[in-house]
Amino acid sequence: MRAVVTDFDGTITKRDVAELLLQEFTGDAWLEIEREHARIGTRETLVREFDLVRATRLQILAAAERLAEIDPTFPTFLAYARRNGIPVEIVSEGFDTYLGHLLARWGLDVPFRTNHAEFDDDRIELSFPYADATCTLCGTCKMDRVLALRAAGYRVAYVGNGISDICPALEADLVFAKDDLAALCRKHEREHIPIRDFGDVQRGIASWQ
The residues of the shown chain that bind Mg ion, judged by CB under 5 A, are 7, 9-10, 161-162
Query: In one letter, which amino acid is 52?
Result: L
Q: Pairing mode, if any, of strands 123-127 and 155-160?
A: unpaired
- d(C-alpha 146, C-alpha 6), whole Å: 10
Nearer to Mg ion, 56 or 131 (CB): 131
> Shortest approach of Mg ion to residue 93 CB, angstroms?
7
Nearer Cβ to Mg ion (42/161): 161
Minimum distance, C-beta of residue 138 to Mg ion, in the bound complex (Å)? 12
Spatial distance between the Cα atoms of 31 and 56, rounded to a whole number of angstroms: 21
Q: Which of 126, 115, 89 is nearest to 2 (CA)?
A: 89
Nearest distance from C-beta of residue 176 to Mg ion, angstroms: 12
3-class SS of residue 103: helix
Q: Distance (Å, rounded) from C-alpha 100 to C-alpha 103?
A: 5
Shortest reach from residue 32's CB to Mg ion, in Å: 20
Diameter of the chain measured on Cα atoms: 50
Q: Which is nearer to Mg ion, 12 or 156 (CB)?
A: 12
CB closer to Mg ion, 16 vs 209: 16
* Nearer CB in complex with Mg ion: 7/71: 7
CB of 64 to Mg ion, least distance (A): 15
Using left for φ > 0, alpha for ψ between -120 and 50, and beta otherwise, residue 27 falls in: left
